[in-house]
Amino acid sequence: MFAVSLGDDKAELRPLEIWQAEEFLAHMDRARELVDPWIPFASFATDLDSARDLLRRYAEKQAADTGRLYGIWLEPAAQGRGLITRAAERLIDWAVYERGMHRVEWDASAANTRSIAVAKRLGMTRDGVIRQNYLYRGVRHDSEIWSVLAPEWRARTGR
Ligand SMILES: CC(C)(COP(=O)(O)OP(=O)(O)OC[C@H]1O[C@@H](n2cnc3c(N)ncnc32)[C@H](O)[C@@H]1OP(=O)(O)O)[C@@H](O)C(=O)NCCC(=O)NCCS
């Protein structure tokens, strides 16, 4: 299995696979409070069986080339070190240079200023706001869509 170094201590970006369910669940338990206000992701993995199911669903998406799941732990101890920006840079490189994608999007709750700050750090442009399109826990949230186009990414990376 490959791992991409993020150049920070031992931080690495790796594919998340079913055999890692136990470690993934332990991480989700530490991250739950941070993630829950924004997205239901943590609620999909609440015990070992549901963690395995989630990882299996992503393995199936990867086999169908419709989605992928990579691991960079998003728990409180990992915040504020630039890890998410660096991980996203690697993924956008892959999308643009390997897969030939023209447009990469960042979709965040308009209230999630830390997530939007990452889009800004990535040099993305704010396409706009979709008003109250995301119903979560009884509240209709606005979403912001940010994007970077392949020519913009090439200009930014100089490749
Ligand atoms: C959104 C989230 C994942 C972003 O993580 P993050 O750590 O803030 O983002 P980055 O990895 O880009 O790190 C940037 C921070 O590290 C600091 N930093 C330290 N070293 C750095 C480096 N070498 N390069 C860039 N930034 C660095 C930056 O100054 C910045 O800190 P600041 O926000 O206090 O100014 C995180 O805030 C989070 O988990 N939020 C709550 C849950 C959530 O929203 N999850 C995603 C739902 S879609």
Digit-coded pLDDT (tens) for 84-129: 999 999 999 999 999 999 999 999 999 999 999 999 999 999 999 9
Q: What are phi and psi of 40, to 5 degrees?
A: -85, 5
- On whether both 76 and 86 belong to a single domain, the answer is no
pLDDT of residue 8: 62
Identify the CA nearest to 14 among candidates 81, 68, 80. 68
Q: Which atom of ligand 1 is nearest to the CA of 109?
A: 48
- For residue 96, the enclosing domain spans 82-159
- Which tokens sit at 88? 């996203």
- Considering the domain architecture, whether residues 69 and 100 belong to the same structural domain is answered as no
Would the CB of 143 count as within 6 Å of ligand 1? no
For atom 19 of ligand 1, which residue has the closest CA?
A: 81
For the Cβ of 77 lying below 6 angstroms from any atom of ligand 1, the answer is no
If one counts the domains in the chain, the total is 2
Ligand 1 pocket, residue 38 CB under 6 Å: yes
Are the C-beta atoms of 109 and 142 separated by less than 8 Å? yes
Domain boundary among 60, 81, 102: 81
Looking at the DSSP bridge assignments, the partners of residue 15 are 70
Please tell me if the CB atom of residue 81 comes closer than 6 angstroms to any atom of ligand 1.
yes
| Average pLDDT of the chain to the nearest whole number | 94
pTM of the model: 0.93
Q: Based on the domain organization, do 89 and 131 belong to the same domain?
A: yes
Give the CATH number for residue 109: 3.40.630.30
Same domain, 12 and 66: yes
Residue 19 to residue 59: CA distance in whole angstroms: 11
Of 39, 41, 40, 45, residue with least CA distance to 20: 45
In the reported structure, the alpha carbon of residue 120 is separated from the centroid of ligand 1 by a whole-number distance in angstroms of 11
Q: How far apart (Å, rounded) are the C-alpha atoms in residues 65 and 59?
A: 10
